[in-house]
A and B are shown apart, each in its own frame.
Chain A
Amino acid sequence: MRTILALVRKEFYQVFRDRNMLRMIFLMPMIQLLILGYAINVDVKNIRTAFYDYDNSSLSREYIRDFSSGGYFITTASDIPLPDVNEAFTENRFDAAIIIPEDFSENIYTGQGVTAGMIVDATNANSAAISMGYAGLITARFNSDYSALASPITMRQRLLYNPEAESVYYMVPGIVAVLLTMITVMLTSMAIVREREMGTLEQLMVTPISTPAFILGKTIPFAILGYIEMSIALAFGILWFNIPFAGSWLLLYGVAFVFLFTTLGVGMFISTVTGTQQQAMFFAWFFSIFAILTSGFFNPISNMPESVQYLTYLNPLRYFMAIVRGIMMKGAGVLELYRDIGSLVVFSLSIFTFAWMRFSKRVE
């Protein structure tokens, strides 16, 4: 026990001896939260749209108003004649153009129907698809406004858990999970490999420190650091972004403890297959990118191709992500999360045990 404590203390000395490292450890979660909290917004808004209204009637203006009042489309003045409109797209002056033919109102009043044109810049395919969807919806509403058939049957929608529809409420819990993964995997693997690179691992091995004591001495500091990072991120998220916390803190920190076995285990495993810090960093990073992109962090897993969806089941971060979001946003407890928690426990224990065994073998 004493030896472990001494090793932990040594590791902390090493990390904090460098003032810059200390700054980095506190700054990193805040910078990440600030950037990600504000930048991640896949909602399509502010579609710069040029309107070519050849009808110029009250009805066509009404149609344009429907577009600009929804918050999705913003009207952009265009001094470019319609035949040269492609030029404006190449120069990235606007994202869409809507063309209203001159017989627009006439054909609507006489009940003949009319076709309005829409040109979209599909460089960003996702935004283009969504903006066409919006345009279709606005047109459908316009149509029902101008028919006597306005239906008495309506649909009422209600948002649960996040009534203001703030995407930052969803991203911050996700960032907490991502931070915890990246920091612990990278720092653990690099710290162990560093001893090897510097040649101090041999020195440690000739001291009466047992292998388990060495492993614990190398992992506990980063578990603590991970907790600190997570707490900073949570505090910052709650104080700065005012994200609600609906569930149990105890459960969150408890599950984080289980998850740490995964990341520390992965870090330890990486240290057994690499010889330099650069390699360790690279491997850790490779793991992190895979884990983050297939965790459902910024796009829903149900949206991925089926083969990739199966792959995500092998990703422990996927379960942790769902758990953190469930606890923080929905106030979910063990009853709702038992499947995710169960999978996480199984993954964590097996990864950690495997890494431990491999590491012990390597050292002896």
Chain B
Amino acid sequence: MHKIIHIARKEIMHIRRDVRSLFIAILMPLLMTFLYGYAINLDIKNIKLGVLDFDKSVESRELVTKYFSSGYFIPAESQVQLDDPERVLKLTDAHVVLVIKPGFAEALANRTEYQVGLLLDGADANLAAAAGNYAAAVFNQYLVSMLPPGMELPGVTMSHQVLYNPDLKSSHFFVPGLVGVILMMISALLTSITIAREKETGTLEQLLTSPVTPRQIIIGKVLPYIGLALFDGLLVYGFAILHFHVPMTGSNLLLFVFGVIYVIAALSIGVLISTLVKTQQLAMMAALTVTMLPSVMLSGFVFEIKNMPLFLQWVTSIIPAKYFILIIRGIMLKGSGIEVLWPQAAVLIVMTLVLLGIAAKKFKMKIG
């Protein structure tokens, strides 16, 4: 125990001496919180609409106004002298071009066949799908509003009840998930690099010839990073609560306990990587590929797992971040307790035990 504390103290001195790394280790979560809290919003709005109105009637102008007042569309930069929709799409910043050929007002009055054209930039398929749907919806609304009085159809209207996040704030979705990503990032990446560093500079041998066991070295080296990771996690959590006003409907204690388990799992991955590589460069690339990328992309942090192909859904089940993100969102937004979250917690604990076991074995073998 005494020796572990010495190793840990040495590692803390390393961290403290390296002010620039520490600075980034604290600044990085803040940058990510800012960007995910404000910049990333997958709900499509502000679609840039170019208009080619050849009808130039009161009705066609009304339709165009309807588009811009819908909240989904904003005008694209003006397209002087362009009358070919494909060229508008190519040469301006428009995502979508609405083409109203002559005869729109007439067709509307006489109820004759007529087609309004919409050309979409399909490059971003998601944007195009949303734009197409919104455009159709606005168009339908316009048609209904133009029906003669008394002919409107009562039909079905919908009332919505929005659970857990009534204001539909995407920061409530992203920022708690970010805690999971940040914890993984700090834990796995930093540990893999520090051990690789001792190897690269040859100081690992020196440590091993001293009367500390390999296990003590690992635990000692890893302890300070648990502290750093938890600090970063708390930082993001604090931002979530105080700045983004994400509700905390569940138990703080439960979240903290699961957080610690998750951090230990992440650290085990870091240790495992460091036993397999010799240089810091490689440690960094490996950590990035096997921990960071999956934690961001395959954990449900941004992209929903149920939309992925089946084989990738299987892959996601070995990603620790997936379980922690489910846990933190469940606790914070839904107020779920252990009776709902125990399966996720169980998976995390099993993962941690397995990872720790492999990492300890590999580390011993490598130096033995």
Do the two shown chains form a genuine complex with each other? Answer: yes
> What is the bound-complex CA distance between A134 and B277, given in angstroms?
49
> What is the bound-complex CA distance between A137 and B89, given in angstroms?
26
Q: Which of B31, B117, B126, B333 contacts A123 (CB 8 A)?
A: B333
A153 within 8 A of B: yes
The reply to whether A286 and B164 form a contact with Cβ atoms under 8 Å apart is: no
> What is the bound-complex CA distance between A86 and B281, given in angstroms?
49
CB-based nearest B residue for A36: B297
The reply to whether A63 and B307 form a contact with Cβ atoms under 8 Å apart is: no
CB distance from A102 to the nearest CB of B (A): 14
Chain A residues within 8 Å of chain B by Cβ, number: 119
Q: Which of B89, B129, B155, B162 contacts A108 (CB 8 A)?
A: B155
Q: Contacts A42-B42, A299-B42 given: A126-B156 contact, CB under 8 Å?
A: no
Q: Contacts A143-B153, A156-B117 given: A336-B28 contact, CB under 8 Å?
A: no
The reply to whether A278 and B18 form a contact with Cβ atoms under 8 Å apart is: yes
Interface window among A254-262, A324-332, A348-356: A324-332
The reply to whether A294 and B115 form a contact with Cβ atoms under 8 Å apart is: no
CB-based nearest A residue for B315: A35
The reply to whether A279 and B294 form a contact with Cβ atoms under 8 Å apart is: no
CB distance from A206 to the nearest CB of B (A): 22
Interface window among A1-9, A162-170, A209-217, A231-239: A162-170
- Give 1 or 0 for each of B99-142: 1 = CB within 8 Å of chain A CB: 00000000110011111111111111111111011111101110
The reply to whether A35 and B294 form a contact with Cβ atoms under 8 Å apart is: yes
Size bin of chain B's contact surface: 35 or more
The reply to whether A43 and B125 form a contact with Cβ atoms under 8 Å apart is: yes
Q: List residues of chain B with CB within 8 A of the CB of A166.
A: 125
> What is the bound-complex CA distance between A146 and B153, given in angstroms?
9
CB-based nearest A residue for B133: A137
A289 within 8 A of B: yes
Interface window among B3-11, B33-41, B230-238: B33-41
Q: Which positions in B face A, CB cutoff 8 Å? A: 18, 20-21, 24-25, 27-28, 31-32, 35-36, 38-48, 74, 86, 89-91, 93, 95, 107-108, 111-130, 132-137, 139-141, 143, 147, 151, 153-166, 168-170, 172-173, 190, 193-194, 197, 201, 276-282, 284-286, 288-289, 293-294, 297-298, 302-304, 306-309, 312, 326, 329-330, 333-336, 340
CB-CB nearest 7 A-B residue pairs: A113-B154, A162-B122, A143-B155, A159-B122, A122-B165, A126-B42, A167-B125
